[in-house]
A and B are shown apart, each in its own frame.
Chain A
Amino acid sequence: SQTIHQWPATLVQPVGSPLSLECTVEGTSNPNLYWYRQAAGRGLQLLFYSVGIGQISSEVPQNLSASRPQDRQFILSSKKLLLSDSGFYLCAWSVPPGWQPQHFGDGTRLSIL
């Protein structure tokens, strides 16, 4: 069966520090991968998605970046965090066809001080 791992579960970082969140999927090949952010009490904002190694689509221009160094690994990064980067970050995967749902990791709660 397929599983998705996302870590860390919680993270407290100072403003201006770098960030690296990692997500890995097991049990499937060539998944589509997604990063979402959810501000407190708000909806889901799609940040990046990838349909293959090295292929990244950015939905929101900001100080975050994403990379997909391996088929089932998706990394969210920042060189310098802002206060506005606080939130709940969710990784997800899916495979075609379109009726297949997206499956989400447990999320990372990021607090910027």
Chain B
Amino acid sequence: AQKVTQAQTEISVVEKEDVTLDCVYETRDTTYYLFWYKQPPSGELVFLIRRNSFDEQNEISGRYSWNFQKSTSSFNFTITASQVVDSAVYFCALRTSGNTPLVFGKGTRLSVIA
């Protein structure tokens, strides 16, 4: 069975601080896909990034970066110089085949205080 754990329920930081959101996954499949989504207060889920199990290259997109480590089954998300607009719930998710639903973690609520 697949499982995604986001141990941090809520995080609060002051604007301009860096913050890392943790994601640990479990699967016995050798091929799998990892995703991060953002849910702002308006409610819609916005896709941020995906990573394939065979590609451990980390990625940076502006102030966002993702660290994928198969050795620790983790796919952590770092926001550098956080801004108030980053306040949202962030979900990590896992999928092992094309026709199965994503398995979501419980989410981490990030509050960035001005």
Residues of A within 8 A of B (CB): 32, 34, 41-44, 46, 49, 51, 88, 90, 92, 95-107, 109
Among the 9-residue stretches B12-20, B71-79, B93-101, the one with 4 or more Cβ atoms under 8 Å from chain A is B93-101
Chain A residues in 8 Å Cβ range of B44: 104-107
Chain A residues in 8 Å Cβ range of B101: 32, 34, 46, 49, 102
Chain B residues in 8 Å Cβ range of A104: 37, 44-45
Tell me if B106 and A98 are in contact (CB < 8 A).
no
Q: A104-B44, A105-B44 are in contact. List 9 more A-B contacts (CB 8 A).
A: A44-B104, A95-B98, A98-B95, A98-B97, A98-B100, A99-B50, A101-B50, A102-B47, A106-B44
Among B43, B47, B104, contact of A107 (Cβ-Cβ < 8 Å): B43
Q: Complex: how many Å from CA A105 to CA B39?
A: 12
Chain B residue at minimal CB-CB distance from A103 = B47
Taking residues whose C-beta sits less than 8 angstroms from the other chain, chain B's interface range is: 20 to 34
Tell me if A90 and B50 are in contact (CB < 8 A).
no
Chain B residues in 8 Å Cβ range of A49: 101
* With A43-B91, A44-B91, A109-B43 as contacts: A99 and B52 at CB distance below 8 Å: yes
Chain B residue at minimal CB-CB distance from A97 = B98
CB-defined A-B contacts under 8 Å, sample of 10: A43-B105, A43-B106, A44-B107, A88-B43, A95-B98, A98-B32, A98-B98, A100-B98, A102-B101, A105-B44
Tell me if B43 and A98 are in contact (CB < 8 A).
no
Chain A residue at minimal CB-CB distance from B6 = A43
In the complex, whether B35 has a CB less than 8 A from a CB of chain A is yes
Interface residues of B in 17-73 (CB under 8 A from A): 31-33, 35, 37, 43-45, 47, 50, 52
Chain B residues in 8 Å Cβ range of A95: 98
Chain A residues in 8 Å Cβ range of B113: none
Among A46, A90, A97, contact of B45 (Cβ-Cβ < 8 Å): A90
* With A43-B107, A104-B45, A107-B44 as contacts: A96 and B102 at CB distance below 8 Å: no
**Listed residue (B32, B52, B100) with the most chain A CB atoms within 10 angstroms of its CB:** B100
Chain B residues in 8 Å Cβ range of A103: 47
Q: Complex: how many Å from CA A69 to CA B91?
A: 31
Tell me if B91 and A96 are in contact (CB < 8 A).
no
